[in-house]
Amino acid sequence: MQPTALNGSVALVTAASRGIGRAIALDLATNGADVALGVRDTESATELAAEISAMGRRVTVVAMDVTDLPSCRRAVDDVIADLGTIDVLVNNAGGGIVEDALDVTEEHFDSVWALTTKSTFFVSQHVARHMRTAGGGSIVNVASQAGLVALPGESVYCLSKAAVIHLTKCLAVEWGQYGIRVNAVAPTFIETDGTAPALSDAAFRTDTVERIAALHRIGQPEEVAAAVTFLAGEGASLVTGTALPIDGGWTAR
């Protein structure tokens, strides 16, 4: 196998079984990383694990519900025990609700915050303790353009992703002294199972394509994955504390 950007690295990807997470895991493996797949249901990652193994990469699957922090810490420890280290962490897990801000309940608010923001903080914290001892590493948070602009009906999701973007800056500043880089990507609407219901509405899709102001098309998971791999690797060795929009020009408008 030819040397690649991440050859010999070990990467942990949360919510890795489908959509953007799956694309990230595959791209990291293609670029030389051994990969740990953090998923709620380990059976959901069987096919993906086989695909990565067929590339000649080591792969492990760990049960990881990011809203259950004790299980997350155990999963991280299991990855280190199995693969020896974690050089790259990709916090991909997240989600939101579509609901008018006047109707959001405390329960809905807390569920989005726990899934998207609290998990990113505490999973990063646990992995970073290992990275500090190991001499460094790279953390990439999957934020969203929703953290950069206002999306009607998605106030809680926008808030949670804005918090992830600012958290990225805070952790980059604190942890740079340990050789840990922390960055984020902020994708626009991407063609996945999760966005399919909304994008299947013709009027919504047309409006979305129009708002993607420069390229006027919906993104693909592989386009997000390529950016994550860049930020994770040595090609971005002087990049930290940044949130890279993968948005076709939406936020440039």
Dist. CA 126–CA 189, nearest whole Å: 30
Q: Which residues are catalytic?
A: 157
Residue 106 is given by DSSP the state: H
Q: Terminal CA-to-CA distance of the chain, rounded, Å?
A: 43
Strand-pair category, 137-142 with 88-91: parallel
How would you classify residue 135: left for phi > 0, otherwise alpha for psi between -120 and 50, otherwise beta? left
Dist. CA 28–CA 170, nearest whole Å: 25
For 30, counting Cβ atoms within 10 Å of its Cβ (0-12 exposed, 13-18 middle, 19+ buried), the class is middle
Residue with the two structure tokens 């922390």: 182
Residue 131: both structure tokens together: 């990275």
Dist. CA 95–CA 93, nearest whole Å: 7
Q: Please, what sign has the CA dihedral across residues 69, 73, 78, 79?
A: positive
